């Protein structure tokens, strides 16, 4: 029996996260900087601990979504550069200076206020400028001349990086990503002619790394999903994959009760499942309030005693029911696996996501904070 004193928890392998990072490093080579993406609590893996692991591995940049996420890393002692990718609101300016955070500017109209704030500081405030190369979301679509003029009018801030974001990185059946690369490279070249030559250029996350879209690496990449052991499947005529990673997380839940039901019994809210035979069920201490998708009701699986077993009826807020008729060793106090492997059986976040009609990012980021993180 598991001795971990929790009803549901995740076990996160420090070594696997470190190994995934080393594999990314080997793929891109020594001349490309890695900004490790640890936003959304490192995709549910715990941003502080993951950042400590990666800093020991030599990571010199981390990427987060909000200033609050960056502040949490600084307060935990993370010394590397921290890029705040999606939080350019005026009220975060004081935090940028106090906690040495590098903001991403998405619109040239934001530069005057940032420059005015930086003028009151003892040293220039560095930032990265996001280019909308075809994503149609955050980022400026301004010309090189307009960008250069705006930068010249903001002498107290320093452009440290130029970045963009792919819209369909895994889709090789269209030319959309190629067009984005060309647009970004063309603007970069035009800016260089105007004397704008930032230290960092980056637009690639996990997928362009994994499928060797080297022309999009520039001198910095932003892996996220790969660090936690996942790669998206490419569509179309993709080149061979050059990166291999493995999941670093296993999700467990305690068995709260085991009981026998006769044939024809209804299970759970709404009686969504009716037993067709005499059935032994186990009730688990995890539900949608813990992040187990409600859409796994009557369709998802868990692993009990090394066997893949079905979820019966509705996933409820705090409880989930599984069929353990063929797993006689399962007893109250034992545990089952929601994500991970036991023997020959395995469930990963991509498989769970397909069952739930979502994406693996959603599954990983959806594991709630009340699910204890245990590092092994």
**Which positions are catalytic?**
39, 269
69 and 224 in contact (C-beta within 8 Å)?
Answer: no
Cα gap 356→363, rounded to integer Å: 9
42 and 248 in contact (C-beta within 8 Å)?
Answer: no
Cα gap 112→222, rounded to integer Å: 28
DSSP string covering 77-130, please? T--SEEEE-S---GGGHHHHHHTTEEEEE--GGGHHHHHHHHHTSSSPEEEEEE
Q: Using the 8-state DSSP alphabet, how is residue 311 labeled?
A: B
Cα gap 106→259, rounded to integer Å: 57
Cα gap 162→213, rounded to integer Å: 18
Cα gap 301→308, rounded to integer Å: 6
């Amino acid at each position: 029996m598991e001795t971990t004193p929790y009803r549901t928890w995740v076990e996160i392998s420090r070594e696997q996260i470190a190994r995934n990072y080393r594999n990314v490093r080997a793929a891109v080579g020594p001349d490309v900087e890695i900004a490790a993406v640890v936003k959304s609590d490192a995709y549910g893996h715990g941003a502080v601990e993951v950042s400590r692991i990666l800093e020991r591995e030599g990571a010199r940049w981390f990427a987060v979504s909000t200033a609050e996420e960056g502040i949490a890393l600084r307060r935990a002692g993370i010394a590397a550069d921290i890029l705040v990718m999606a939080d350019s609101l005026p009220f975060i300016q004081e935090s940028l200076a106090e906690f040495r955070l590098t903001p991403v500017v998405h619109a040239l109209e934001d530069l005057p206020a940032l420059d005015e704030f930086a003028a009151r500081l003892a040293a220039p405030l560095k930032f990265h400028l996001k280019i909308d190369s075809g994503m149609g979301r955050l980022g400026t679509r301004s010309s090189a001349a307009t960008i250069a003029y705006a930068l010249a009018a903001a002498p107290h801030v320093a452009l440290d990086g130029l970045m963009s974001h792919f819209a369909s990185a895994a889709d090789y059946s269209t030319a959309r990503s190629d067009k984005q690369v060309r647009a970004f490279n063309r603007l970069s070249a035009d800016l260089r002619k105007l004397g704008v030559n930032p230290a960092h250029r980056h637009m690639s996350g996990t997928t362009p790394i994994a499928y060797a879209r080297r022309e999009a690496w520039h001198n910095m990449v932003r892996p996220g999903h790969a660090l936690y052991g996942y790669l998206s499947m490419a569509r179309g005529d993709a080149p061979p994959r050059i990166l291999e990673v493995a999941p670093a997380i296993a999700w467990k839940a305690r068995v709260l009760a085991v009981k026998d039901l006769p044939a024809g019994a209804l299970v759970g809210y709404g009686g969504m499942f009716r037993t067709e035979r005499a059935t032994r069920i186990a009730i688990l201490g995890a539900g949608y309030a813990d992040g187990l998708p409600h859409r796994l009701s009557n369709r998802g699986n868990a692993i009990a005693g090394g066997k893949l077993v079905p979820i019966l009826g509705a996933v409820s807020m705090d409880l989930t029911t599984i069929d353990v008729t063929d797993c006689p060793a399962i007893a109250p106090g034992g545990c089952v696996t929601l994500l991970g492997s036991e023997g020959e059986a395995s469930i990963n976040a991509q498989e769970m996501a397909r069952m739930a009609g979502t994406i693996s990012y959603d599954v990983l980021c959806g594991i709630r904070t009340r699910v204890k993180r245990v590092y092994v």
